[in-house]
Amino acid sequence: MNSVAALLMGLVGPMLLRALTTLGIGLVTFTGVAASLDGLISQAVQNYQSIPADILGLAGLAGVPQAVGIICGAMVARVGLWVASSATRWITKP
């Protein structure tokens, strides 16, 4: 019984350590990229608000705020998927 437990810990231990390491690196990467994307989004919002009022009205009618929101959401989703796939690839590689 003791040898079975030692065998299981010998097999599971390194894989668990690798998974936790990969998740930590993925979390740090995602946090850094998400922070830079937040900075870019806030800068875009500030620049958008500095446009004259009549042009802002036309842009609102044309759907520019919705388009910018969709693009920013797509960028954040892409980064999330990239981090998830990189983490999975790193865990499962031999």
Kindly list the domain boundaries of the chain, sorted by start residue. Answer: 19-92
Q: What are 7-28's pLDDT values in tens digits? A: 777 777 777 777 777 777 777 7
Block residue for tokens 């759907």: 63
pTM over 0.75: no
Q: What are 46-87's pLDDT values in tens digits? A: 998 899 999 989 999 999 989 988 998 898 888 878 877 776
1 pLDDT tier (thresholds 50, 70, 90): low
Task: Give the per-residue pLDDT at 62.
Answer: 94
Q: DSSP assignment of 8-48, as one string?
A: HHHHHHHHHHHHHHHHHHHHHHHHHHHHHHHHHHHHHHHHH
